[in-house]
Chain A
Amino acid sequence: MAQVAVRMDESELIRAAQRGDQRAFEQLVRLYDQNVLRLAMNLLRSPEDANDIYQEAFLRVYKNLHSFRFDCSFHTWLYRIVTNLCLDALRKRRVRREEDTVVETSEGFLDRMDTVEESRAHGDPQRQLLSRQLRGRIREVLDGLTPRERAVFEMRHYQGLRLRAIGDMLGTSEEAAKNCLFRATQKMRAALGDFV
């Protein structure tokens, strides 16, 4: 079936979805799901876990949409659910052994993150090597952040959200989000200073 997507106003989509219109809900999902998946992927570093968060978050939203009263933006409400799920997953993961992104395949060892996206320093093997090392180091530092620091850093640095909005989403103050971001950037600077 080919569908010509016509963007409806977000609040119209929410109201239609609240009336049980599944198609409207899926249109609503598409307004945000790329960023939701990106957030989950960057925080959990696993396509399978990111998919789990995606499913769980949107199913929760779907089931509870009747209770959404437009008191805050839908974006904030959705991200509150997504970040809570991600933080829970990160905390659980800290308890058990950290998952490794490197897997063994019939063709040798492969970093699963390399198959996701590679920003390659075109044509120059030396630069490619350096950028790969730097990327690996950045991932190590991110892994060393606390779940909250990591969530705040991801939302501010990669998703471009304002600290006030991040505070709302994490159920904390703008000041607390600012402190988290500050600690995260201090750690990044301390660990990566030699590379730049």
Chain B
Amino acid sequence: MKCEDSRTLFPLFLYGELSFEEEERLEVHIDECDACRAALAREKALFKSIDAAGILPSAELLADCRAELHERLAHVQPERAGWWEKVREGFTIHFHFAPGLMQVGGALAMLLVGFFTARVAPNSFPGAFGKAGLVDPATSRVRYVEPVGAGRVQIVVDETTQRTLSGTLDDQSIQRLLLTAAKDPSDAGLRVESVNLLKNQPQSAEVRSALLYAVQHDPNAGVRLKALDGLKDFAADPETRKSLTQVLLKDDCPGVRKEVIDMLIQHHTDSMVGVLQEVMGKEQNGYIRMRCQRALRDMNASAETY
């Protein structure tokens, strides 16, 4: 393989989209060619940079989209397949080769057979799941099976059933569920909605601690912003300020840092001077730098450390 040919294959190689033979030929060449090995390393670095440029929509945008869709769905009627269409389409699979009239004939014949069989045959199927204790197989999962003698079998089933709960935010069980949902790592939208509800109850110590946790640790900026919103009345509380200071110095999102600086500079404390000077030393965002500078001036402090 020539170096030029090998390098044109790099992207597909890194995406795992080469055939077995192509991959094999490329790997053999890379093993033997220092220049191509170096070029592949550069290609990997390029891929890594492109990874970092991807945009993740904020949880807030996701939550807004979901809320809007929920509203709009209420006013939309899904189109339904008519009974004739259902019958016709249902039999298209089985009588695909037959002309239209035969399909109708086949359908009627099967209906009649089904009807008379049900009248004549012993009633052995209904209740089969009921006898086994299964309410809905779609929401059950067999976890373990074991023969227990005399032809009987014992089955352990995990059942999941959906329940709808409603109540006020003061309700402890509702609050507990929201606190759990606020930490669900798989669904940023669920977290943002939960934190949005919880932020109305910051007087509860448990809720406040969940909001502080979200502000410091949630990977999604939208969730962090919602949590900050709930902590606004506690901007003077020492524990809250300590957490906010950490967020100001470490958070990736300029929007979050902007909110935090606005909250922190509402109350001037001695320890703030050092923090603001540290922020001035490394902050890139013009708005945050301006707010820091103004707060330091109000506290008669220098914007720089000497």
A→B interface (CB under 8 Å): 1-9, 12, 17, 20, 22, 25-26, 29-30, 33-34, 37-38, 41-42, 45, 47, 50-51, 54-55, 58-59, 62-67, 69, 107-108, 113-120, 122-123, 125, 128-129, 131-132, 134-135, 138-139, 156-158, 162-163, 178, 181-182, 185-186, 188-189, 192-193, 195-196
Contacts and interface: CB of A to CB of B under 8 A. Distances in A.
B28 interface: no
A196 B46 contact: yes
Contacts of B160: 6-7
Contacts of A139: 53
Nearest to B160: A6
Contact of B78 (A5, A62, A115, A135): A62
A150 B11 CA distance: 15
A189 B46 contact: yes
B11 A185 contact: yes
Interface stretch (B117-125, B210-218, B232-240, B282-290): B282-290
Nearest to A47: B61
16 contacts: A2-B167, A8-B162, A22-B73, A25-B73, A38-B57, A41-B55, A41-B61, A42-B55, A66-B78, A117-B252, A117-B253, A125-B284, A157-B50, A157-B54, A193-B42, A193-B46
Contacts of B43: 189
Contacts of B273: none
Contacts of A131: 52
Contacts of A182: 8, 11-12
B252 A119 contact: yes
A113 B65 CA distance: 18
Interface in B61-116: 61-62, 64-66, 68-70, 72-74, 76, 78-81, 89
Contact of B69 (A34, A58, A178, A192): A58
Contacts of B49: 134, 138, 192, 195-196
Please provide the 6 A-B residue pairs with the shortest distance between their CB atoms, ordered closest to farther.
A185-B11, A138-B53, A196-B45, A66-B81, A54-B65, A41-B57
Given A9-B138, A37-B57, A51-B61, A62 B284 contact: no
Nearest to B7: A189
A119 B49 CA distance: 11
Contacts of B135: none
B178 A2 contact: yes
Interface of B: 8, 11-12, 15, 17, 42-43, 45-47, 49-58, 61-62, 64-66, 68-70, 72-74, 76, 78-81, 89, 138-139, 160-167, 174, 177-178, 181, 187-190, 221, 250, 252-255, 282, 284, 286-287, 290
Given A33-B65, A34-B188, A116-B58, A63 B76 contact: yes
Given A37-B57, A107-B287, A117-B253, A69 B189 contact: no
Interface class of chain A by DSSP: helix
A59 B53 contact: no
B38 to A, nearest CB: 12
B98 to A, nearest CB: 19
A135 B89 CA distance: 51
Contact of A51 (B68, B81, B187): B68
A4 B253 contact: no
Instruction: Report which residue of B57, B66, B76, B162 has the largest number of chain A beta carbons within 10 angstroms of its beta carbon.
Output: B57
B15 to A, nearest CB: 6
Given A6-B160, A181-B15, A196-B42, A37 B89 contact: no
Contacts of B55: 38, 41-42, 45, 113, 116-117
Given A66-B79, A117-B56, A188 B65 contact: no
Given A134-B49, A188-B46, 15 more contacts: A1-B165, A2-B167, A4-B162, A37-B62, A51-B64, A58-B69, A63-B76, A65-B78, A116-B56, A116-B61, A117-B253, A125-B282, A128-B284, A178-B12, A182-B12
B61 A62 contact: no
Given A63-B79, A117-B56, A181-B11, A50 B164 contact: no
Nearest to B184: A5
A6 B65 contact: no
A59 B190 CA distance: 21
